[in-house]
Structure formats: structure tokens, C-alpha cells
Amino acid sequence: TTIDEDALARVIVISSNGKHFCSGMDLGVFSASNITSSEKEEVKMSERGRQRGSFYKNLLKLQETFNCIDEARIPIIMAIQGACVGGGVDFASACDFRYCTEDAFFCIQEINIGMTADVGTFPRLQYLMPLGLVKELAYTGRRLYAEEAHSTGLVNKVFEDKEKMIEHAMEIAQEISRKTPLAIWGSKDMINYNRGRTIREGLDRISLWQSGMFNPEADMKEAMSSNFEERDAEFEDLYPLKKDLGL
């Protein structure tokens, strides 16, 4: 959130150290005291409404952890090796696109521990893969290995090892960073907005965006000049967002 709000980067690549990318969330999060903000070991029946209301609000906070990735103005790329399970799938599905190594696998682990995935897997994954496959993975908790993840569209490319994957991800990130960040932001906003909406709604959205954000005097002029002069374009960064609006 800070990187996006302070305009500290034009693109982010997320990777991890070790054999596996993510083994899921700490199950201690789901203990009664953590998820309900209640220190009581037992909750009276008369207080169940308060407990569940607290659970609801705290779950929304957990979801915001990944919503901020989806809603960031800048592209976020994920590079995955080994296991990506449970909360890792929530995490991965919130990114703009994903690469993985040959040994990578994905698993909606929640069904295997007696719960429903609830932090972002289902609202997003169904736009990344065939719906029938999403349901199969959700109901069975089986592993989705790299080759199948690639063939079904979850990952853009599979690499022999982590080093080659990171190298490619950084090359793509550098290419993105050379484009105007305003148009990149607009592209991400348009693509994400159109999930579940009609073509006409999407066209209206892009018309509103262009009428307010289109910048031919600077960005388009610089893009055309740099192409003609065979040089790298120089675009202004996005502006930081104000954190204190005096409210």
C-alpha cells in the first residue's frame, strides 16, 4: 500500500526465498480470540451475534490485505516456486499476472482443513481459469501443477528454475516501467473494472477515464518523440496520494 500510495515504484515483482513460495496462512489466525477480538474462552449464546459481527469485520480486514494488491495503481507480478497453497492462492490471484517454476503447484487447501476459502480466491480465480476447473479444485483440494496451471491460464509462463523465472520477471517489469505510468494505471483499472460487467459499461468507464486522464500534451508527445528519435521515453511518475486530508 505504501509503495503505491507514495508512488515509490512503477511495477512490483513479488517472490520468496526457500523451496516453497507460500504454505498458507497461520492457522492460529482462526482461533476464537484472534478472529473475534474476544478474550473470552466461551461465548454465551446471548453474545453470539456480537461474536459473529466481530468475526465478519475482522475477516473484511484480512481480505483488504489482498484487495490493496488488486486495487493498486501499479502492476504487481508474482514469481512462484514450489508450493503455493491456501492463502498463497488468494495472494497469487490478486496479482496482475504470475510466472512459476516447473516444480510449482497450487492448492485450495482450505477444503482439506474443513473450511471455505474466504480471502479472495473465488471472486478472482474464476476470471483467471475455466469455472469448471475452479470448482473442481475448490471441491477436491487437489494440487494444480505448473503445466496445467499454464495451459489453463493461471500462469503466463513456466521456467526450469527460479533464477530464470526471476530474470524474466524483472525483464518484463523493466519493460513495463518504461511505459507511461498513467496509461498503465488506466489499463489496469479498465481491465479490472470490466470483470462481471457488460461491454457497454466498460466502454463508458474508459470514456470517463480518457476525458479526465488522457494526456496528449505530455505522455503521447513524449512517446511519439522517443520512438521517432529511437531513445527511451522519459515519463513523469504518478503523484503520491495524500494520506491526511484533514478529515
Q: Tens of pLDDT along 26-71?
A: 766 655 555 555 555 565 666 788 888 888 998 999 899 999 999 9
Sheet holding 105-107, edge to edge: 83-85, 105-107, 144-145
pLDDT of res. 51: 84
Domain boundaries, the chain: 2-175, 180-229
Cell of 39: 478474550
Report DSSP letters for 212-231, one per residue.
Answer: HH--IIIIIHHHHHHHHHTS
How far CA 18 is from CA of 101, 109, 145, 162, in Å, comes to 13, 20, 18, 10
What are residue 190's DSSP bridge partners? none
DSSP E strands: which ranges in the chain? 12-14, 76-80, 83-85, 97-101, 105-107, 144-145, 157-159
Cell of 244: 491526511
pLDDT of res. 52: 86
How far apart CA 55 and CA 63 sit, in angstroms, is 12
From first to last of the 247 residues of the chain, give the pLDDT tens digit.
Answer: 788 999 899 999 999 999 999 988 776 665 555 555 555 556 566 678 888 888 899 899 989 999 999 999 999 999 999 999 999 999 999 999 999 999 999 999 999 999 999 999 999 999 999 999 999 999 999 999 999 999 999 999 999 999 999 999 999 999 999 999 999 999 999 999 999 999 999 999 999 999 998 888 899 999 999 999 999 999 999 999 987 766 5
Q: Tens of pLDDT along 12-32?
A: 999 999 999 998 877 666 555
What CATH superfamily is the domain 2-175?
Answer: 2-enoyl-CoA Hydratase; Chain A, domain 1 (3.90.226.10)
Q: Which residue has the cell 511518475?
A: 237
